Structure 1
Protein backbone atom coordinates (compact mmCIF):
# COMPACT_ATOMS: atom_id res chain seq x y z
CA UNK A 1 0.00 0.00 0.00
CA UNK A 2 1.11 3.57 -0.61
CA UNK A 3 0.26 7.00 0.74
CA UNK A 4 -2.16 7.83 -2.09
CA UNK A 5 -4.13 4.64 -1.47
CA UNK A 6 -4.40 5.41 2.24
CA UNK A 7 -5.54 8.98 1.55
CA UNK A 8 -8.12 7.68 -0.93
CA UNK A 9 -9.38 5.15 1.61
CA UNK A 10 -9.67 7.84 4.31
CA UNK A 11 -11.67 10.14 2.05
CA UNK A 12 -13.99 7.33 0.92
CA UNK A 13 -14.60 6.32 4.54
CA UNK A 14 -15.98 9.83 5.12
CA UNK A 15 -17.77 10.51 1.83
CA UNK A 16 -19.07 6.93 1.31
CA UNK A 17 -19.32 7.85 -2.37
CA UNK A 18 -16.88 6.65 -5.05
CA UNK A 19 -17.66 9.56 -7.37
CA UNK A 20 -17.08 12.30 -4.77
CA UNK A 21 -13.87 10.67 -3.57
CA UNK A 22 -12.72 10.31 -7.17
CA UNK A 23 -13.28 14.02 -7.78
CA UNK A 24 -11.40 14.97 -4.60
CA UNK A 25 -8.47 12.65 -5.33
CA UNK A 26 -8.42 13.34 -9.10
CA UNK A 27 -9.28 9.73 -9.92
CA UNK A 28 -12.10 8.02 -11.73
CA UNK A 29 -14.68 6.16 -9.64
CA UNK A 30 -13.39 2.86 -11.03
CA UNK A 31 -9.82 3.80 -10.05
CA UNK A 32 -11.02 4.47 -6.50
CA UNK A 33 -12.70 1.05 -6.48
CA UNK A 34 -9.51 -0.65 -7.69
CA UNK A 35 -7.48 1.17 -5.03
CA UNK A 36 -9.80 -0.13 -2.30
CA UNK A 37 -9.66 -3.65 -3.72
CA UNK A 38 -5.84 -3.57 -3.62
CA UNK A 39 -5.93 -2.55 0.04
CA UNK A 40 -8.41 -5.30 0.83
CA UNK A 41 -6.18 -7.87 -0.89
CA UNK A 42 -3.19 -6.71 1.15
CA UNK A 43 -4.94 -6.74 4.54
CA UNK A 44 -6.94 -9.86 3.73
CA UNK A 45 -10.36 -8.57 4.86
CA UNK A 46 -13.23 -6.53 3.42
CA UNK A 47 -12.99 -2.87 4.40
CA UNK A 48 -16.31 -1.78 2.89
CA UNK A 49 -19.73 -3.28 2.38
CA UNK A 50 -20.89 -2.04 -1.00
CA UNK A 51 -23.70 -2.63 -3.43
CA UNK A 52 -25.41 -0.58 -6.12
CA UNK A 53 -27.05 1.74 -3.59
CA UNK A 54 -24.65 2.31 -0.71
CA UNK A 55 -21.11 2.07 0.63
CA UNK A 56 -20.46 1.39 4.31
CA UNK A 57 -17.37 0.66 6.42
CA UNK A 58 -17.11 -2.81 7.92
CA UNK A 59 -15.91 -3.30 11.50
CA UNK A 60 -12.47 -4.13 10.07
CA UNK A 61 -12.70 -1.00 7.92
CA UNK A 62 -13.33 1.19 10.96
CA UNK A 63 -10.29 -0.29 12.68
CA UNK A 64 -8.16 0.12 9.56
CA UNK A 65 -9.31 3.77 9.30
CA UNK A 66 -7.63 4.56 12.62
CA UNK A 67 -4.41 3.02 11.33
CA UNK A 68 -4.63 4.83 7.98
CA UNK A 69 -5.25 8.26 9.54
CA UNK A 70 -2.33 7.83 11.91
CA UNK A 71 -0.06 6.54 9.14
CA UNK A 72 -0.79 9.57 6.93
CA UNK A 73 -0.26 11.97 9.83
CA UNK A 74 3.02 10.24 10.76
CA UNK A 75 4.26 10.46 7.17
CA UNK A 76 3.42 14.16 6.88
CA UNK A 77 4.99 14.87 10.25
CA UNK A 78 8.29 13.13 9.52
CA UNK A 79 8.59 14.89 6.17
CA UNK A 80 8.06 18.25 7.83
CA UNK A 81 10.42 17.44 10.71
CA UNK A 82 13.13 16.59 8.19
CA UNK A 83 12.55 19.96 6.55
CA UNK A 84 12.68 21.68 9.93
CA UNK A 85 16.09 20.16 10.56
CA UNK A 86 17.43 21.25 7.19
CA UNK A 87 15.72 24.63 6.58
CA UNK A 88 12.72 26.78 7.42
CA UNK A 89 9.23 25.28 7.30
CA UNK A 90 7.98 24.85 3.75
CA UNK A 91 5.19 23.05 1.96
CA UNK A 92 1.48 23.49 1.24
CA UNK A 93 -1.52 24.06 3.49
CA UNK A 94 -5.12 23.68 2.33
CA UNK A 95 -7.52 26.17 3.92
CA UNK A 96 -11.28 26.57 3.43
CA UNK A 97 -13.43 29.56 4.39
CA UNK A 98 -16.15 31.84 3.09
CA UNK A 99 -15.30 34.83 0.90
CA UNK A 100 -16.18 37.16 3.77
CA UNK A 101 -13.99 35.27 6.24
CA UNK A 102 -11.07 35.43 3.81
CA UNK A 103 -10.71 39.18 4.29
CA UNK A 104 -12.52 39.83 7.59
CA UNK A 105 -10.93 37.03 9.66
CA UNK A 106 -8.13 35.36 7.68
CA UNK A 107 -6.35 38.60 6.75
CA UNK A 108 -5.35 39.22 10.38
CA UNK A 109 -3.80 35.76 10.62
CA UNK A 110 -1.98 35.94 7.29
CA UNK A 111 -0.24 39.16 8.24
CA UNK A 112 1.58 37.27 11.01
CA UNK A 113 1.79 33.92 9.19
CA UNK A 114 3.53 35.34 6.09
CA UNK A 115 6.15 37.07 8.19
CA UNK A 116 6.98 33.95 10.18
CA UNK A 117 6.67 31.30 7.45
CA UNK A 118 7.26 32.81 3.99
CA UNK A 119 8.06 29.40 2.46
CA UNK A 120 4.66 27.86 3.28
CA UNK A 121 2.26 28.06 0.34
CA UNK A 122 -1.38 28.53 1.29
CA UNK A 123 -4.00 26.92 -0.96
CA UNK A 124 -7.14 28.92 -0.20
CA UNK A 125 -10.53 27.57 -1.25
CA UNK A 126 -13.66 29.65 -0.67
CA UNK A 127 -17.30 28.66 -0.51
CA UNK A 128 -20.28 28.40 1.79
CA UNK A 129 -18.99 28.30 5.38
CA UNK A 130 -21.61 25.62 6.08
CA UNK A 131 -19.40 23.22 4.08
CA UNK A 132 -16.25 23.81 6.15
CA UNK A 133 -16.76 21.20 8.89
CA UNK A 134 -17.56 18.45 6.38
CA UNK A 135 -14.54 19.29 4.20
CA UNK A 136 -12.20 19.21 7.20
CA UNK A 137 -13.70 15.96 8.56
CA UNK A 138 -13.31 14.30 5.15
CA UNK A 139 -9.66 15.35 4.96
CA UNK A 140 -10.22 17.55 1.92
CA UNK A 141 -8.61 20.56 3.64
CA UNK A 142 -6.03 20.98 6.38
CA UNK A 143 -7.86 23.77 8.20
CA UNK A 144 -11.08 25.74 7.98
CA UNK A 145 -12.47 28.98 9.31
CA UNK A 146 -16.12 28.60 10.24
CA UNK A 147 -18.87 29.24 12.76
CA UNK A 148 -18.82 26.83 15.68
CA UNK A 149 -21.61 24.24 15.49
CA UNK A 150 -23.57 23.17 18.56
CA UNK A 151 -21.98 19.72 18.40
CA UNK A 152 -18.47 19.00 17.18
CA UNK A 153 -16.95 15.60 16.44
CA UNK A 154 -14.28 14.53 18.97
CA UNK A 155 -12.01 14.01 15.94
CA UNK A 156 -11.99 17.78 15.38
CA UNK A 157 -10.23 20.52 17.32
CA UNK A 158 -11.75 24.01 17.40
CA UNK A 159 -10.21 27.34 18.46
CA UNK A 160 -12.35 30.45 18.86
CA UNK A 161 -11.07 33.54 17.04
CA UNK A 162 -13.87 36.11 17.21
CA UNK A 163 -17.60 36.59 17.65
CA UNK A 164 -20.18 38.38 15.54
CA UNK A 165 -23.76 39.25 16.47
CA UNK A 166 -26.49 38.31 14.01
CA UNK A 167 -28.42 41.23 12.52
CA UNK A 168 -31.86 41.45 10.93
CA UNK A 169 -31.65 43.14 7.52
CA UNK A 170 -34.45 44.80 5.56
CA UNK A 171 -34.25 46.47 2.13
CA UNK A 172 -33.24 50.13 1.92
CA UNK A 173 -35.18 50.77 -1.29
CA UNK A 174 -38.86 51.41 -2.02
CA UNK A 175 -40.53 47.99 -2.16
CA UNK A 176 -43.52 46.00 -0.92
CA UNK A 177 -41.50 44.69 2.04
CA UNK A 178 -40.81 48.22 3.28
CA UNK A 179 -44.47 49.14 2.85
CA UNK A 180 -45.36 46.30 5.23
CA UNK A 181 -42.72 47.46 7.71
CA UNK A 182 -43.88 51.09 7.51
CA UNK A 183 -47.48 50.02 8.10
CA UNK A 184 -46.33 48.27 11.29
CA UNK A 185 -44.73 51.50 12.51
CA UNK A 186 -41.17 50.11 12.25
CA UNK A 187 -41.84 47.95 15.31
CA UNK A 188 -41.33 44.37 14.20
CA UNK A 189 -43.21 42.31 16.73
CA UNK A 190 -43.15 38.51 16.41
CA UNK A 191 -46.60 38.70 14.83
CA UNK A 192 -45.39 41.15 12.15
CA UNK A 193 -42.19 39.16 11.54
CA UNK A 194 -44.25 36.06 10.85
CA UNK A 195 -45.93 37.85 7.92
CA UNK A 196 -42.74 39.12 6.24
CA UNK A 197 -40.90 37.12 3.54
CA UNK A 198 -37.67 35.69 4.99
CA UNK A 199 -34.49 34.89 3.06
CA UNK A 200 -32.79 32.06 4.98
CA UNK A 201 -29.49 30.20 4.65
CA UNK A 202 -30.01 26.68 3.33
CA UNK A 203 -28.16 25.10 6.24
CA UNK A 204 -25.32 25.58 8.67
CA UNK A 205 -24.82 27.19 12.08
CA UNK A 206 -26.61 30.43 11.16
CA UNK A 207 -29.69 28.47 10.06
CA UNK A 208 -29.70 26.61 13.39
CA UNK A 209 -29.40 29.84 15.41
CA UNK A 210 -32.14 31.56 13.39
CA UNK A 211 -34.50 28.62 13.85
CA UNK A 212 -33.84 28.73 17.61
CA UNK A 213 -34.75 32.43 17.54
CA UNK A 214 -38.00 31.65 15.70
CA UNK A 215 -38.88 29.04 18.33
CA UNK A 216 -38.11 31.53 21.10
CA UNK A 217 -40.65 33.93 19.55
CA UNK A 218 -43.05 31.05 18.85
CA UNK A 219 -43.51 31.99 15.20
CA UNK A 220 -43.48 30.10 11.93
CA UNK A 221 -41.79 32.36 9.37
CA UNK A 222 -42.90 32.89 5.81
CA UNK A 223 -39.87 31.65 3.83
CA UNK A 224 -39.47 33.34 0.44
CA UNK A 225 -36.12 31.77 -0.47
CA UNK A 226 -33.29 29.63 0.87
CA UNK A 227 -29.84 30.53 -0.43
CA UNK A 228 -26.26 29.31 -0.13
CA UNK A 229 -23.96 31.68 1.75
CA UNK A 230 -24.53 34.81 3.81
CA UNK A 231 -23.39 37.09 0.99
CA UNK A 232 -26.32 35.85 -1.11
CA UNK A 233 -28.74 36.80 1.68
CA UNK A 234 -27.49 40.41 1.63
CA UNK A 235 -27.87 40.51 -2.16
CA UNK A 236 -31.41 39.13 -2.11
CA UNK A 237 -32.54 41.52 0.64
CA UNK A 238 -30.93 44.44 -1.23
CA UNK A 239 -33.15 43.61 -4.22
CA UNK A 240 -36.22 44.12 -2.04
CA UNK A 241 -37.30 40.48 -2.13
CA UNK A 242 -37.49 39.93 1.61
CA UNK A 243 -35.74 40.28 4.96
CA UNK A 244 -32.85 38.19 6.25
CA UNK A 245 -30.40 37.53 9.07
CA UNK A 246 -26.61 37.65 8.63
CA UNK A 247 -23.56 37.99 10.89
CA UNK A 248 -22.55 41.63 11.42
CA UNK A 249 -19.07 41.00 9.98
CA UNK A 250 -20.68 39.94 6.67
CA UNK A 251 -22.67 43.16 6.50
CA UNK A 252 -19.67 45.31 7.49
CA UNK A 253 -17.66 44.12 4.48
CA UNK A 254 -20.49 43.91 1.93
CA UNK A 255 -20.46 46.33 -1.02
CA UNK A 256 -24.28 46.28 -0.78
CA UNK A 257 -24.46 47.47 2.83
CA UNK A 258 -25.87 50.87 1.76
CA UNK A 259 -28.81 49.10 0.09
CA UNK A 260 -29.95 47.38 3.28
CA UNK A 261 -30.60 48.55 6.82
CA UNK A 262 -30.52 46.89 10.23
CA UNK A 263 -33.69 46.70 12.30
CA UNK A 264 -33.37 46.03 16.07
CA UNK A 265 -35.53 43.20 17.34
CA UNK A 266 -36.65 41.75 20.66
CA UNK A 267 -35.71 39.18 21.71
CA UNK A 268 -32.26 39.98 20.36
CA UNK A 269 -30.67 37.67 17.83
CA UNK A 270 -27.90 35.41 19.20
CA UNK A 271 -24.15 35.77 18.84
CA UNK A 272 -22.21 33.64 16.36
CA UNK A 273 -18.81 32.27 17.37
CA UNK A 274 -16.21 32.02 14.58
CA UNK A 275 -12.97 30.08 14.75
CA UNK A 276 -10.50 27.75 13.11
CA UNK A 277 -11.11 23.99 12.95
CA UNK A 278 -8.77 21.10 12.18
CA UNK A 279 -8.63 17.33 12.46
CA UNK A 280 -7.07 16.60 15.85
CA UNK A 281 -4.45 14.31 14.32
CA UNK A 282 -3.24 16.94 11.87
CA UNK A 283 -2.02 19.20 14.66
CA UNK A 284 1.07 16.98 14.80
CA UNK A 285 1.92 18.31 11.32
CA UNK A 286 4.33 21.26 11.88
CA UNK A 287 2.74 23.30 9.07
CA UNK A 288 -0.76 22.92 10.49
CA UNK A 289 0.51 23.65 14.00
CA UNK A 290 2.27 26.77 12.72
CA UNK A 291 -0.97 28.17 11.30
CA UNK A 292 -2.90 27.14 14.42
CA UNK A 293 -0.46 29.01 16.67
CA UNK A 294 -0.50 32.09 14.41
CA UNK A 295 -4.30 32.13 14.56
CA UNK A 296 -4.19 32.03 18.36
CA UNK A 297 -1.62 34.83 18.63
CA UNK A 298 -3.45 36.98 16.07
CA UNK A 299 -6.68 36.97 18.09
CA UNK A 300 -5.41 36.66 21.66
Structure 2
Protein backbone atom coordinates (compact mmCIF):
# COMPACT_ATOMS: atom_id res chain seq x y z
CA UNK A 1 0.00 0.00 0.00
CA UNK A 2 1.19 3.53 -0.73
CA UNK A 3 -0.11 7.08 -0.61
CA UNK A 4 -1.18 7.03 -4.26
CA UNK A 5 -3.25 3.90 -3.64
CA UNK A 6 -4.99 5.67 -0.74
CA UNK A 7 -5.67 8.64 -3.00
CA UNK A 8 -7.21 6.36 -5.62
CA UNK A 9 -9.35 4.69 -2.95
CA UNK A 10 -10.56 8.09 -1.69
CA UNK A 11 -11.40 9.27 -5.19
CA UNK A 12 -13.63 6.24 -5.71
CA UNK A 13 -15.10 6.37 -2.19
CA UNK A 14 -16.09 10.03 -2.60
CA UNK A 15 -17.46 9.74 -6.15
CA UNK A 16 -18.74 6.13 -6.18
CA UNK A 17 -18.16 6.14 -9.92
CA UNK A 18 -15.15 4.59 -11.65
CA UNK A 19 -15.23 7.03 -14.57
CA UNK A 20 -15.21 10.19 -12.43
CA UNK A 21 -12.69 8.71 -9.99
CA UNK A 22 -10.31 7.73 -12.82
CA UNK A 23 -10.52 11.24 -14.30
CA UNK A 24 -9.70 12.78 -10.91
CA UNK A 25 -6.86 10.31 -10.38
CA UNK A 26 -5.57 10.83 -13.94
CA UNK A 27 -5.41 7.09 -14.62
CA UNK A 28 -7.45 4.72 -16.75
CA UNK A 29 -10.54 2.98 -15.38
CA UNK A 30 -8.83 -0.40 -15.74
CA UNK A 31 -5.78 0.80 -13.79
CA UNK A 32 -7.99 2.23 -11.05
CA UNK A 33 -9.98 -0.99 -10.85
CA UNK A 34 -6.76 -3.00 -10.64
CA UNK A 35 -5.37 -0.79 -7.85
CA UNK A 36 -8.58 -1.10 -5.82
CA UNK A 37 -8.62 -4.86 -6.25
CA UNK A 38 -4.97 -5.10 -5.15
CA UNK A 39 -5.80 -2.98 -2.10
CA UNK A 40 -8.70 -5.28 -1.24
CA UNK A 41 -6.45 -8.33 -1.67
CA UNK A 42 -3.83 -6.87 0.67
CA UNK A 43 -6.48 -6.10 3.30
CA UNK A 44 -8.32 -9.40 2.65
CA UNK A 45 -11.70 -7.62 2.65
CA UNK A 46 -14.12 -6.21 0.07
CA UNK A 47 -14.15 -2.41 0.23
CA UNK A 48 -16.72 -1.79 -2.51
CA UNK A 49 -19.79 -3.59 -3.74
CA UNK A 50 -19.98 -2.92 -7.46
CA UNK A 51 -22.02 -4.05 -10.42
CA UNK A 52 -22.62 -2.67 -13.89
CA UNK A 53 -24.61 0.29 -12.51
CA UNK A 54 -23.60 1.10 -8.95
CA UNK A 55 -20.59 1.35 -6.65
CA UNK A 56 -21.14 1.33 -2.89
CA UNK A 57 -18.83 1.19 0.11
CA UNK A 58 -19.11 -1.94 2.24
CA UNK A 59 -19.08 -1.73 6.04
CA UNK A 60 -15.35 -2.52 5.89
CA UNK A 61 -14.95 0.18 3.25
CA UNK A 62 -16.55 2.78 5.54
CA UNK A 63 -14.08 1.86 8.29
CA UNK A 64 -11.13 2.01 5.92
CA UNK A 65 -12.33 5.38 4.60
CA UNK A 66 -11.78 6.97 8.03
CA UNK A 67 -8.28 5.49 8.17
CA UNK A 68 -7.42 6.64 4.63
CA UNK A 69 -8.45 10.23 5.33
CA UNK A 70 -6.51 10.36 8.58
CA UNK A 71 -3.46 8.72 6.98
CA UNK A 72 -3.39 11.24 4.11
CA UNK A 73 -3.82 14.13 6.55
CA UNK A 74 -0.88 12.90 8.61
CA UNK A 75 1.14 12.42 5.41
CA UNK A 76 0.57 16.04 4.46
CA UNK A 77 1.58 17.20 7.93
CA UNK A 78 4.87 15.29 7.92
CA UNK A 79 5.57 16.32 4.32
CA UNK A 80 5.35 19.98 5.26
CA UNK A 81 7.29 19.48 8.51
CA UNK A 82 10.13 17.78 6.67
CA UNK A 83 10.08 20.46 3.99
CA UNK A 84 10.16 23.42 6.34
CA UNK A 85 13.08 24.84 4.41
CA UNK A 86 10.61 25.57 1.59
CA UNK A 87 8.45 28.67 1.94
CA UNK A 88 5.52 27.12 0.04
CA UNK A 89 2.94 24.78 1.56
CA UNK A 90 1.79 21.99 -0.73
CA UNK A 91 -1.03 19.49 -0.53
CA UNK A 92 -4.80 19.25 -0.59
CA UNK A 93 -7.68 20.13 1.74
CA UNK A 94 -11.38 19.47 1.30
CA UNK A 95 -14.16 22.00 1.87
CA UNK A 96 -17.96 21.75 2.11
CA UNK A 97 -20.59 24.50 1.77
CA UNK A 98 -23.87 25.34 0.08
CA UNK A 99 -24.03 26.46 -3.55
CA UNK A 100 -24.94 29.96 -2.33
CA UNK A 101 -21.93 30.10 0.00
CA UNK A 102 -19.64 28.90 -2.78
CA UNK A 103 -20.07 32.15 -4.72
CA UNK A 104 -21.21 34.60 -2.04
CA UNK A 105 -18.56 33.78 0.60
CA UNK A 106 -16.04 31.31 -0.74
CA UNK A 107 -15.21 33.23 -3.92
CA UNK A 108 -13.45 36.04 -2.05
CA UNK A 109 -11.81 33.65 0.44
CA UNK A 110 -10.37 31.47 -2.32
CA UNK A 111 -9.05 34.48 -4.21
CA UNK A 112 -7.02 35.51 -1.16
CA UNK A 113 -6.06 31.94 -0.33
CA UNK A 114 -4.80 31.10 -3.82
CA UNK A 115 -2.69 34.24 -3.86
CA UNK A 116 -1.03 33.40 -0.54
CA UNK A 117 -0.87 29.60 -0.91
CA UNK A 118 -0.76 28.61 -4.60
CA UNK A 119 0.61 25.16 -3.75
CA UNK A 120 -2.51 24.08 -1.81
CA UNK A 121 -5.31 22.49 -3.81
CA UNK A 122 -8.95 22.86 -2.67
CA UNK A 123 -11.45 20.03 -3.16
CA UNK A 124 -14.91 21.59 -2.95
CA UNK A 125 -18.14 19.71 -2.29
CA UNK A 126 -21.51 21.51 -2.20
CA UNK A 127 -24.80 20.54 -0.61
CA UNK A 128 -27.31 21.32 2.12
CA UNK A 129 -25.63 23.47 4.80
CA UNK A 130 -27.46 21.50 7.49
CA UNK A 131 -24.99 18.67 6.82
CA UNK A 132 -21.91 20.89 7.17
CA UNK A 133 -20.91 20.07 10.75
CA UNK A 134 -21.77 16.37 10.39
CA UNK A 135 -19.49 16.07 7.37
CA UNK A 136 -16.59 17.60 9.32
CA UNK A 137 -17.26 15.28 12.27
CA UNK A 138 -17.36 12.29 9.94
CA UNK A 139 -14.06 13.30 8.35
CA UNK A 140 -15.62 13.83 4.92
CA UNK A 141 -14.13 17.33 4.82
CA UNK A 142 -11.56 19.24 6.85
CA UNK A 143 -13.54 22.51 6.72
CA UNK A 144 -17.16 23.49 6.15
CA UNK A 145 -19.12 26.76 5.98
CA UNK A 146 -22.60 27.14 7.50
CA UNK A 147 -24.61 28.87 10.22
CA UNK A 148 -23.65 28.45 13.88
CA UNK A 149 -26.10 26.15 15.72
CA UNK A 150 -27.26 26.64 19.30
CA UNK A 151 -24.39 24.45 20.55
CA UNK A 152 -21.27 23.02 18.93
CA UNK A 153 -20.32 19.34 19.17
CA UNK A 154 -17.25 18.60 21.27
CA UNK A 155 -14.01 19.08 19.37
CA UNK A 156 -15.50 21.39 16.72
CA UNK A 157 -14.29 25.00 16.46
CA UNK A 158 -15.97 27.91 14.69
CA UNK A 159 -14.72 31.11 13.09
CA UNK A 160 -17.32 33.75 12.10
CA UNK A 161 -17.40 35.21 8.59
CA UNK A 162 -20.65 37.15 8.24
CA UNK A 163 -24.14 37.64 9.67
CA UNK A 164 -27.31 37.17 7.61
CA UNK A 165 -30.88 37.96 8.75
CA UNK A 166 -33.36 35.08 8.61
CA UNK A 167 -36.37 36.46 6.73
CA UNK A 168 -39.94 35.59 5.76
CA UNK A 169 -40.40 35.84 1.98
CA UNK A 170 -43.46 36.01 -0.27
CA UNK A 171 -44.05 36.30 -4.03
CA UNK A 172 -43.90 39.86 -5.31
CA UNK A 173 -47.06 39.37 -7.40
CA UNK A 174 -50.36 37.76 -6.38
CA UNK A 175 -50.12 34.36 -8.09
CA UNK A 176 -52.27 32.39 -5.66
CA UNK A 177 -55.25 33.82 -3.72
CA UNK A 178 -54.25 31.73 -0.71
CA UNK A 179 -50.75 33.24 -0.57
CA UNK A 180 -50.71 36.89 0.56
CA UNK A 181 -48.19 39.37 -0.78
CA UNK A 182 -48.50 41.48 2.36
CA UNK A 183 -47.52 40.52 5.90
CA UNK A 184 -50.42 38.64 7.56
CA UNK A 185 -52.00 40.91 10.17
CA UNK A 186 -53.48 38.33 12.55
CA UNK A 187 -52.90 34.86 13.96
CA UNK A 188 -55.97 33.66 12.07
CA UNK A 189 -54.49 34.76 8.73
CA UNK A 190 -51.09 33.29 9.63
CA UNK A 191 -52.76 29.94 10.39
CA UNK A 192 -54.30 29.81 6.92
CA UNK A 193 -51.17 30.73 4.93
CA UNK A 194 -49.40 27.82 3.16
CA UNK A 195 -45.80 27.70 4.38
CA UNK A 196 -42.76 26.37 2.52
CA UNK A 197 -40.15 25.50 5.13
CA UNK A 198 -36.88 23.64 5.59
CA UNK A 199 -37.41 20.02 6.46
CA UNK A 200 -34.94 20.19 9.35
CA UNK A 201 -32.11 22.33 10.68
CA UNK A 202 -31.47 25.67 12.32
CA UNK A 203 -33.95 27.72 10.27
CA UNK A 204 -36.74 25.20 10.84
CA UNK A 205 -36.08 25.15 14.58
CA UNK A 206 -36.27 28.95 14.76
CA UNK A 207 -39.44 29.14 12.67
CA UNK A 208 -41.13 26.45 14.78
CA UNK A 209 -40.19 28.37 17.93
CA UNK A 210 -41.56 31.60 16.41
CA UNK A 211 -44.93 29.99 15.65
CA UNK A 212 -45.10 28.47 19.15
CA UNK A 213 -44.37 31.84 20.75
CA UNK A 214 -47.08 33.44 18.61
CA UNK A 215 -49.46 30.57 19.48
CA UNK A 216 -50.02 29.83 15.81
CA UNK A 217 -50.40 26.39 14.27
CA UNK A 218 -48.84 26.81 10.82
CA UNK A 219 -50.25 25.27 7.67
CA UNK A 220 -47.28 23.45 6.15
CA UNK A 221 -47.58 23.23 2.37
CA UNK A 222 -44.10 21.78 1.70
CA UNK A 223 -40.98 20.76 3.59
CA UNK A 224 -37.88 20.89 1.41
CA UNK A 225 -34.13 20.42 1.61
CA UNK A 226 -32.14 23.47 0.56
CA UNK A 227 -32.92 27.17 0.79
CA UNK A 228 -32.66 27.68 -2.97
CA UNK A 229 -35.63 25.32 -3.38
CA UNK A 230 -37.67 27.41 -0.93
CA UNK A 231 -37.00 30.57 -2.94
CA UNK A 232 -38.03 28.77 -6.13
CA UNK A 233 -41.32 27.50 -4.68
CA UNK A 234 -42.19 30.89 -3.17
CA UNK A 235 -41.49 32.62 -6.50
CA UNK A 236 -44.10 30.32 -8.05
CA UNK A 237 -46.69 31.50 -5.53
CA UNK A 238 -46.89 28.22 -3.63
CA UNK A 239 -46.50 29.73 -0.19
CA UNK A 240 -44.56 31.94 2.21
CA UNK A 241 -41.06 30.75 3.09
CA UNK A 242 -38.18 31.47 5.44
CA UNK A 243 -34.58 31.72 4.21
CA UNK A 244 -31.32 33.46 5.17
CA UNK A 245 -31.24 36.81 3.36
CA UNK A 246 -27.84 35.93 1.85
CA UNK A 247 -29.60 33.20 -0.17
CA UNK A 248 -32.15 35.65 -1.54
CA UNK A 249 -29.47 38.26 -2.29
CA UNK A 250 -27.68 35.77 -4.53
CA UNK A 251 -30.74 34.14 -6.11
CA UNK A 252 -31.58 34.61 -9.81
CA UNK A 253 -35.23 34.68 -8.65
CA UNK A 254 -34.75 37.62 -6.26
CA UNK A 255 -36.79 40.00 -8.44
CA UNK A 256 -39.85 37.76 -8.03
CA UNK A 257 -39.59 37.78 -4.24
CA UNK A 258 -40.24 40.30 -1.50
CA UNK A 259 -39.23 40.26 2.16
CA UNK A 260 -42.12 40.56 4.60
CA UNK A 261 -41.90 42.93 7.56
CA UNK A 262 -42.54 40.40 10.33
CA UNK A 263 -42.32 41.18 14.03
CA UNK A 264 -40.74 39.88 16.14
CA UNK A 265 -37.89 39.14 13.74
CA UNK A 266 -36.19 35.76 13.68
CA UNK A 267 -32.66 35.49 15.08
CA UNK A 268 -30.07 36.12 12.38
CA UNK A 269 -27.67 33.49 11.09
CA UNK A 270 -24.08 33.75 12.31
CA UNK A 271 -22.32 32.20 9.31
CA UNK A 272 -18.76 30.98 9.52
CA UNK A 273 -16.32 28.15 9.12
CA UNK A 274 -16.13 24.89 11.08
CA UNK A 275 -13.33 22.40 11.57
CA UNK A 276 -12.16 19.92 14.17
CA UNK A 277 -9.73 21.44 16.65
CA UNK A 278 -7.24 18.68 15.88
CA UNK A 279 -7.39 19.57 12.16
CA UNK A 280 -5.69 22.88 12.92
CA UNK A 281 -2.48 20.91 13.54
CA UNK A 282 -2.46 20.35 9.79
CA UNK A 283 -0.56 23.37 8.37
CA UNK A 284 -2.77 23.36 5.25
CA UNK A 285 -5.99 23.65 7.28
CA UNK A 286 -4.38 26.18 9.58
CA UNK A 287 -3.35 28.28 6.57
CA UNK A 288 -6.93 28.44 5.30
CA UNK A 289 -8.24 29.14 8.80
CA UNK A 290 -5.95 32.17 9.12
CA UNK A 291 -7.13 33.59 5.78
CA UNK A 292 -10.67 33.90 7.17
CA UNK A 293 -11.22 37.43 8.43
The TM-score bracket by the shorter chain reads 0.7 to 0.9
The equivalent residue for 2:199 is 202
After superposition, where does 1:110-189 map in structure 2 within 5 Å?
110-177=110-177, 181=180, 186-189=183-186
Shift of 1:149: 1.4
The equivalent residue for 1:224 is 221
Shift of 1:114: 1.4
Distance, in Å, in 2 between the alignment partners of 1:181 and 1:69 is: 50
Distance, in Å, in 2 between the alignment partners of 1:69 and 1:100 is: 27
Shift of 1:191: 2.9
Q: Is the 8 A contact 2:184 2:190 kept in 1?
A: no
1:36/1:77 CA distance change after superposition, 3 Å: farther
Give aligned pairs, total. 259
Runs of 4+ more than 6 Å apart: 1-7, 67-72
Distance, in Å, in 1 between the alignment partners of 2:211 and 2:83 is: 53
Distance, in Å, in 1 between the alignment partners of 2:265 and 2:196 is: 18
1:216/1:85 CA distance change after superposition, 3 Å: farther
Shift of 1:229: 0.7
The equivalent residue for 1:234 is 231
Q: Is the 8 A contact 1:217 1:267 kept in 2?
A: no
Q: Structure 2: where are the runs of 5+ without partners?
A: 17-32, 47-58
Deviation track 1:157-205 (CA, whole Å, cap 9, x = no partner) reads 111111111111111233225x6536xx744333322211111112222
SS in 1 for 2:115: helix
SS in 2 for 1:226: strand
Shift of 1:216: 1.8
Q: 1:277 aligns with which of 270, 274, 291?
A: 274
SS in 1 for 2:265: coil
Cα RMSD for the two superposed structures: 3.4
SS in 1 for 2:262: coil
Q: Is the 8 A contact 1:73 1:284 kept in 2?
A: no
SS in 1 for 2:264: coil
The equivalent residue for 1:44 is none
1:85/1:70 CA distance change after superposition, 3 Å: same
The equivalent residue for 2:91 is 91
The equivalent residue for 1:52 is none
Q: Is the 8 A contact 2:194 2:238 kept in 1?
A: yes
Q: Is the 8 A contact 2:174 2:180 kept in 1?
A: no
1:217/1:116 CA distance change after superposition, 3 Å: same
After superposition, where does 1:43-82 map in structure 2 within 5 Å?
74-82=74-82
TM-score of the superposed pair, with normalisation by structure 2:
0.76
Shift of 1:108: 2.4
Shift of 1:81: 2.0
Q: Is the 8 A contact 1:73 1:281 kept in 2?
A: no
Q: Structure 1: where are the runs of 5+ without partners?
A: 12-21, 39-54, 56-60
TM-score of the superposed pair, with normalisation by structure 1:
0.74
Shift of 1:283: 0.6
Deviation track 1:229-288 (CA, whole Å, cap 9, x = no partner) reads 111100000011111001111111111011111111111121111110011111100110
Shift of 1:88: 0.6
Q: Is the 8 A contact 1:166 1:271 kept in 2?
A: yes
SS in 2 for 1:77: helix
